[in-house]
Structure 1
Amino acid sequence: MRALPQLHHSDAFPPTSEALDYPNGLLAVGGGLSASRLTDAYRRGIFPWYEEPQPVLWWTPDPRSVLFPERLHISRSLRKTLRKDAFKLSVDQHFEVVMRRCAQLRGDGLGTWIGDDMLAAYCDLHHIGHAHSIEVLNQQNELVGGLYGIALGRAFFGESMFSAETDASKVALVGLIDILSRGGFRLVDCQVESEHLNSLGAINISRLDFEELLAQTVDIAHDPGIWHLPATCGELL
């Protein structure tokens, strides 16, 4: 494996065409997790993924898993869950908690890819309006599912989701797509293919096509007033 570019505080990212084939999409190392570094990365389709306390690793895999809002697949069983109206919904009320739950339920804890530095950096993005969370609560007002990610222009970059009750994370995704559709968003970046995301309608596209989509979307502002949902999931149907 050839040596990775080592980024310092003000260094620009190398061209994404220089990303490694194996590991797929590894582009550079270092550079920190400032809000400006992160937004610059996402605008170019680059995201951080690493284990603290190691240096930050930056990735841009090819192909790229994406979900186009109009292609969301709601299965019969998920539609039944929505109709039962068993879950309550909220937006941006428990951002840090959602991040922590995503780490815990994946078995990573806060010492690996969602570590303390990642937590602080994405909470900073949340405070300035770039990062959002969708929260799913049961009838006892317990947080049982959710997701979080970054919204730039009319592209949403999904980071992680969790579910402590059946279908809770899927309900969060349906809520997210409701918001994005109202806001004229073009795509959800799902990063790397998984069977779970494919079952919900995600597909693979080339890195080049993905970057062309970003060029058409990240500079088109969306209305910040879209970030709300109905009180219960049944109203999403």
Structure 2
Amino acid sequence: MSFIPSCDHREDAIRSLSEIYAVSAENIDRALRASEVLQIAEVYSQIDSPGFHFVVCHLLKASPRADITHACYYHSTSYGGCPSWFDEGLLGSSQGVERFLDKITEWLPPEKQLVAKQAARGIVKLRSEYEGSTAEVCGPYAWNTFTAASSSPSGVRYRVPEAIQDLWSPSFCGNGGLVDLRGIIEERLKPVVVKFKGKISNIDDYCATLWAYLLSDDGECHLTHTFTGNGLAIPKEDIVALMDVP
């Protein structure tokens, strides 16, 4: 089986890049300290430019391997603390929101259960339309690095599916104020990052994210998503780890 890169932490990212370019970790470290690389990295968005890729390939005398087609990705969510929560795998937006509500329904007042499900279903549909798609082909969404999924402001927000957060919090999809589930989620559920194997949509973009992670001060910078869920569930066997976060 081809090597599966990941980005749990700094050493993991260096190891992954060394495998992707088939060079030593020392060569990756030298490239990170090269003046040409540091100069380009001063403008963060330029790390995903053709010029940056050219410089890195020139310094390493290597290009990304063509046989690396998958990577480990990181989905930020909440769960009940037991791995069986993901026995159905990691679901896309439409299915995922409904199943999330199913799992916490017992803690909802009876009069709120149907209201929450109907409203969430409509919000998922509306959000998908704004994205130029349908609810059935959206998500699951995932970050390229554990740090982005677990520490960034957006990562914290995504610990609750957006369509469920919209039930109580105003957004472009509505005024909120329908069903406030914050208490249940905070008291009953644990934040978690689901690490799973997924197909890389663009190897250069994926590499750029790892370089950007290593070149940023705190590792929380994020360039682009390189996993496209298309609404399909990630099977249970492709879930690599459940990583609890504070």
Scaled by the length of structure 2, the TM-score of the pair is 0.22
Task: Report the structure, 1 or 2, having the larger helix content.
Answer: 2
Scaled by the length of structure 1, the TM-score of the pair is 0.23
Structure with the greater alpha carbon radius of gyration: 2
Which fold has the larger relative contact order, with Cα–Cα distance below 8 Å and residues 6 or more apart in sequence? 2
Task: Report the structure, 1 or 2, having the larger strand content.
Answer: 1
